[in-house]
Amino acid sequence: MPADGSDSSAPPIPAPPTEPAVKLPTWRAALQTLPLAAIWIATIAPLLLWLLARQDPELAVRIKQVTTTAAIRGGLGLALVASVGALLFPPVPAWVRLMFERLRLSFASDRGPLLKALAELEHFASAARHLEVGRLALTRSELPLAAEHLHRAVELDPSIAGAHHQFGILLRRLGHLQQAAVAFQNAEHLDPGHAFGAALLELGRCALLAGDERAAAEILERHRKEHGGSKQSHYWLGKARAAIGEHDSAIAAMKYAAEPTKQRLTPEENWFRALARVWLWRGGRR
Amino acid sequence: MNDFLRQADRIPVTLVVAIAYVTLFVLANLSVAPEQLPARLDEFGVLTPLNVAEGDAWRLIAAAFLHANMLHIGLNTWALLALGPGIETELGSLRFALLYLVSAIGGHIAVCLVYAPYQGVLGGSGALFGILGAVFALNMRHGRHLFAFLQDEGNRRMIWFTVAYLIAGIWLPVSNTGHIGGLLAGFALTFCWLAPGREPTRNVRRYRIALTALFCSLCFVSLSPAARWDQLWNRSIADESPYGKARRRAATMHYRGIPSADEQDVREFATSEVFR
């Protein structure tokens, strides 16, 4: 054994992925500016109508009436589409609950602890402190800040499993599935069963989403054996098994995911249960 | 009562507003026959969208100090003395005065935008709802995070009370439009300006500019309404008909549900092709 106490027989940790370029999806950026845009439209529209009314009052009235009618009909139409959507795709209530929970979390996460962690980082920079900043930024969906600090944490001390795990979540959220899989692999390698199997589950999920269904099925099966599995892990396991043609075992996994439970599920688990129920209802089709 | 008098020097604006309520109520009701009271209140500043559109901008503020009867003034003064001292002490007197005025204007702008041109409103409740909005904004700002105040039973009850009052307002003879306008104005003013949080970010500055522009725009549109058929209708009556004033009177009575000799004319005009 070497002098530093490390086990030379253990495989080396793969190099951590590079810092990702963070670019918010267009729809998300648009969604963030939507309230501001609505205020500006509400500001400008009456003034434009006023200017128009000076030239042609009847046209201004007609435009206002047409717009109001269109807005009312549009709202009713959207409600109708949403109702039909809920009929065609039954997990809509579960999705609404999940979205509401995410919204609540985004509002309910204060920036104070993040600012405090950033201030502490200025006094003394360490991997743990970078990790703390990155974790808090990730919770608040401040992805550029999270990317910078999580990458720095992994760079400074590649032996912290939590840093790899958080970095993996960030990469997965940014859509870099291959790199995320490497990060989760590192976390699992450093701390087997890290975060009660969450890293393993994420690893399986990334493998499935990246198109490696066989590896995903193996990883998720291991997760089921070692950690008992959850609604989410059984859902992904079912998808992976179905993709490699093991239809019966896929149905068994999905049935487990769709089973009702006595205790109240978290919004995320409830969402995967709803997806599994629909999958079974449709006979194993997407 | 003793506590209230002891802190009187710290809440001058609340007291001035309460005294203004009572003084104007007494002056408006002094030696006036009940049937003449509407006309007297109109002189003192009852707000109708039409009056504001015709240039009486002062009514946007004056109507927030007028009250129609004892119950009206009693409830509003009680609400002012219940909510005002705490918020005035928290924000400071000048800021509280600004909050009251902006909320009053906000509530009355909503009335101008939504109500029929001859429908009148009066009372300080829009501004009082603005103070309630300020309470919500301060609670949101003072917590560990924006919604931490919901963990407190008292705060939750206050929200339910507000919602219940707004729902009851559908049936009660109160102006829900003015209440909601005042509530939003008071909330926005406090949230973005008076208690902007630990770090007024660039986003807050953007919202400040946008909300100021919106407030100015809606003020302008209340004073110079353009695309409301009823305003154009009224303008047409005034401009085109030789019997403009008579028809306007008839229209007023029509809106108040009083049948008049000219009602048929008004109805024909309202349903004419021009305004379909």
- E strand or H helix that includes residue B113: helix B93-114
CA angle B124, B128, B129 (to 5 degrees): 120
* B224 in contact with chain A, both atoms CB, cutoff 8 A: yes
Residue A134: closest CA among A171, A101, A186, A185? A171
Question: For residue B52, is pLDDT > 50?
Answer: yes
Complex-level ipTM: 0.78
Summarize pLDDT for A64-78 with one digit per residue, the tens: 878 888 988 999 999
Is B179 an active-site residue? yes
Summarize pLDDT for A257-269 with one digit per residue, the tens: 999 888 888 998 9
Can you give the pLDDT at residue A101?
84
Can you give the pLDDT at residue A6?
46
Question: For residue B185, is pLDDT > 70?
Answer: yes
Can you give the pLDDT at residue A173?
87
* pLDDT-based confidence at residue A33 (cuts at 50, 70, 90): confident
Question: For residue B135, is pLDDT > 70?
Answer: yes
Question: For residue B239, is pLDDT > 60?
Answer: no
- Give the mean pLDDT of B54-67: 92
- Give the mean pLDDT of A39-68: 85
Q: Which of B67, B72, B179, B254 is catalytic?
A: B179
* pLDDT-based confidence at residue A37 (cuts at 50, 70, 90): very high
* pLDDT-based confidence at residue B237 (cuts at 50, 70, 90): low
Q: Mind telling me how many Å the CA of A45 is from chain B's nearest CA?
A: 9
B136 token code pair:
């919500």
* pLDDT-based confidence at residue A96 (cuts at 50, 70, 90): confident
Residue B175: closest CA among B122, B99, B133, B237? B122
Give the residue ranges of DSSP H helices in B115-243. Answer: 125-142, 153-168, 176-189, 202-223, 229-240
Summarize pLDDT for A124-135 with one digit per residue, the tens: 889 999 999 999
* pLDDT-based confidence at residue A10 (cuts at 50, 70, 90): low
Q: What percent of chain B has pLDDT over 70?
A: 79
Can you give the pLDDT at residue B199?
62
Phi, psi dihedral angles at B47 (to 5 degrees): -100, 125
Q: Exposure string (b/e) for A148-180, b if CB count within 10 Å is 16 or more? A: bbbbbbbebebebbbbbbbbbbbbbebebbebb
Greater model confidence, B85 or B201: B85
- Residues of A at the B interface (Cβ-Cβ below 8 Å)? 36, 39-40, 42-44, 46-47, 49-54, 57-58, 60-61, 63-65, 104, 107-112, 115
Chain B segment 56-115 residues within 8 A of A by beta carbon are none
How far apart (Å, rounded) are the C-alpha atoms in residues A271 and A286?
15
Greater model confidence, B245 or A130: A130
Question: For residue A150, is pLDDT > 90?
Answer: yes
* pLDDT-based confidence at residue A5 (cuts at 50, 70, 90): very low
Can you give the pLDDT at residue B253?
54
User: Given B147, B199, B218, which is nearest A46 (Cβ)?
Assistant: B218
* B219 in contact with chain A, both atoms CB, cutoff 8 A: no
* B165 in contact with chain A, both atoms CB, cutoff 8 A: no
Q: In chain A, which residues have their Cβ closer than 8 Å to the Cβ of B207?
A: 36, 39
Question: For residue B261, is pLDDT > 50?
Answer: no
Most confident range (mean pLDDT) of A74-83, A225-234, B103-112 is B103-112
Q: In chain A, which residues have their Cβ closer than 8 Å to the Cβ of B226?
A: 46, 49-54, 57, 60
Q: In chain A, which residues have their Cβ closer than 8 Å to the Cβ of B232?
A: 53, 57, 61
Q: Which residues contact A113 (CB under 8 A, 6 or more apart)?
A: A136
Q: In chain B, which residues have their Cβ closer than 8 Å to the Cβ of A50?
A: 220-221, 224-227
Q: Mind telling me how many Å the CA of B229 is from chain A's nearest CA?
A: 6
B190 token code pair:
């406090």
Contact B226 A104 (CB under 8 A): no
Can you give the pLDDT at residue B155?
84
Among A9-18, A141-150, B32-41, B217-226, which is the least confidently predicted range?
A9-18
Question: For residue B190, is pLDDT > 90?
Answer: yes
* B223 in contact with chain A, both atoms CB, cutoff 8 A: no
How far apart (Å, rounded) are the C-alpha atoms in residues A127 and A157?
6
Most confident range (mean pLDDT) of A143-147, B185-189, B226-230 is B185-189
- Give the mean pLDDT of B27-54: 85
How far apart (Å, rounded) are the C-alpha atoms in residues A202 and A197?
9
Question: For residue A256, is pLDDT > 60?
Answer: yes
Summarize pLDDT for A159-211 with one digit per residue, the tens: 999 999 999 999 988 888 888 999 999 999 999 888 888 999 999 999 998 88
Question: For residue B108, is pLDDT > 60?
Answer: yes
How far apart (Å, rounded) are the C-alpha atoms in residues A119 and B248?
67
DSSP secondary structure, B57-83, as one string: TTHHHHGGG--SSHHHHHHHHHHHHHH
B276 to chain A: nearest residue by CA?
A62
Q: In chain B, which residues have their Cβ closer than 8 Å to the Cβ of A44?
A: 217
Instruction: Look at the alpha carbons of A172, A176, A178, A184 in this order and tell me if their dihedral is positive or negative.
Output: negative
Q: Mind telling me how many Å the CA of A149 is from chain B's nearest CA?
A: 21
DSSP single-letter state for residue A283: T
Write the single-letter amino acid at B133.
G
Q: What percent of chain A has pLDDT over 90?
A: 35
How far apart (Å, rounded) are the C-alpha atoms in residues B250 and B83?
42
Can you give the pLDDT at residue B276?
33
How far apart (Å, rounded) are the C-alpha atoms in residues A286 and A273?
15
* B145 in contact with chain A, both atoms CB, cutoff 8 A: yes
B224 to chain A: nearest residue by CA?
A50
User: Given B145, B220, B226, which is nearest A108 (Cβ)?
Assistant: B145
Q: What percent of chain A has pLDDT over 70?
A: 88
Query: Domains of chain B, with CATH numbers?
Result: 2-223 (1.20.1540.10), 229-275 (no CATH)
Contact B220 A50 (CB under 8 A): yes
Contact B217 A47 (CB under 8 A): yes
* pLDDT-based confidence at residue A3 (cuts at 50, 70, 90): very low
Can you give the pLDDT at residue B7?
74
How far apart (Å, rounded) are the C-alpha atoms in residues A228 and B169?
54
- Give the mean pLDDT of B73-86: 93
Contact A112 B144 (CB under 8 A): yes
* pLDDT-based confidence at residue A237 (cuts at 50, 70, 90): very high
